[in-house]
Amino acid sequence: MLETNFAGIKMRNPTVLASGILGTGSDLMQRVVEEGGAGAVTMKSIGPEERMGHANPSVIEWEHGMLNAVGLPSPGYENMEEEWEGLSKRNYPLIASIYGASIEEFVLVAKNVAKKKPEAIEINISCPNTKEHGQIFGVNEDASIEVVSAVKKEIGDISLIAKLTPQAYNIAAIAAACEKAGANAICAINTVAGMVIDIDARRPVLFNRFGGVSGPAIKPVGIKCVYQIFDAVKIPILGMGGISNGRDAIEFIQAGATTVGIGSGVLYSGFDVFKKVCNEMENWMKANKVESLEEIRGVAHG
């Protein structure tokens, strides 16, 4: 009932572990599939060199979601042999996420990660381009086209997923630009920039002051972005932002998503959230006489 084909990847169900939630190690990836029931997993974004990330507090929970400024900590693509060795024995679809501060860095990481043959490579273009004075790649159509086509050239047959930021003025135009440049799928959304102040301490709560909002607070933002992207592209969409139950997942599918990512929901509810979401999706489908997700994909467009 829930089997899904996503950009050429066969999945037993449409749930995907979002990037950055459980690191890059094979043990946790295996557990989230076996015990948790995820249909596919995304690794934490891998960068060109080792990076420590921001000082603590870097992740906090507030009334309606989470706020994080982990700062893309990464072991660097050259220091991951042990992880890749473990991951090479996997029997589930693996999405490797990469980032860079320039096109050259994206290409370098993509070339090396592609040698490990993940089922897909997700490019996190929600990070700033240092050559463009810190402007985020994914808010600019030309920069998005440049990075997608350069990475696609390196990775050949491996599916390329472009992960977009809701901070783009016109996310549908960015998605269309990525499709034109050779992306095989779109992932939306990454976190939304935000800040929380502790009024008693009279200071921002995060050490980095600003961070990315995720969880229930951003679900309407994710739904709106997926809805607009669905109208603009033919390639499939991995929708995410605040999914924690079956109804949230069905809502994303009705907006136009083919697969659904869960990030903060894992931190709130544990690995089991994937099984729970799948069971609730199936129950909703049975109650509504829906036999396949195909029947309801994008139906909210009328």
Q: Which is nearer to ligand FMN, 265 or 298 (CB)?
A: 265
Q: Is the peptide bond before 75 cis (omega within 30 degrees of 0)?
A: no
> Least separation, in Å, of the C-beta of 288 and ligand FMN?
24
Residue 152 CA to residue 161 CA, distance in Å, equals 10
Q: Which is nearer to ligand FMN, 66 or 229 (CB)?
A: 66
Q: For the chain, how far is it from start to end, CA to CA, in angstroms? A: 23
How many angstroms separate the Cα of 247 from the Cα of each of 57, 219, 242, 252, 282? 32, 12, 11, 9, 10
Which one from 127, 178, 187, 278 is the annotated catalytic residue? 127
Q: How far is the CB of 286 from ligand FMN (least distance, A)?
A: 25
Helix (H/G/I), strand (E/B), else coil: 132: helix
Please say if 225 is a catalytic residue: no
Report in angstroms the alpha-carbon separations of 17 from 236, 241, 274, 275.
17, 12, 8, 12
The nearest distance, CB 126 to ligand FMN, in angstroms, is: 6
**How far is the C-alpha of 233 from the C-alpha of 173, rounded, in Å?**
9
Residue position matching structure tokens 């030309």: 142
In DSSP terms, 239 is beta-bridged to: 188, 260
Q: Which is nearer to ligand FMN, 38 or 66 (CB)?
A: 66
Cis peptide before 189 (omega within 30 of 0): yes
Tell me the pairing of strands 197-198 and 203-204: antiparallel
Whose Cβ is closer to ligand FMN: residue 94's or residue 290's?
Answer: 94
Residue closer to ligand FMN by CB (options 38, 240) is: 240
Q: How near is the Cβ of 302 to ligand FMN at its closest, in Å?
A: 26
> Residue with the closest Cβ to ligand FMN?
20
Residues found near ligand FMN in the complex (CB under 6 A): 18-20, 44-45, 59, 66, 68, 70, 72, 97, 124, 163, 190-191, 214-215, 218, 240-243, 262-265
* 107 and 151 Cβ atoms separated by less than 8 Å: yes
The pairing of beta strand 135-136 with beta strand 128-129: antiparallel
Nearer to ligand FMN, 100 or 215 (CB): 215
Q: Closest by alpha carbon to 265, among 216, 223, 196?
A: 216
Catalytic annotation, residues: 127
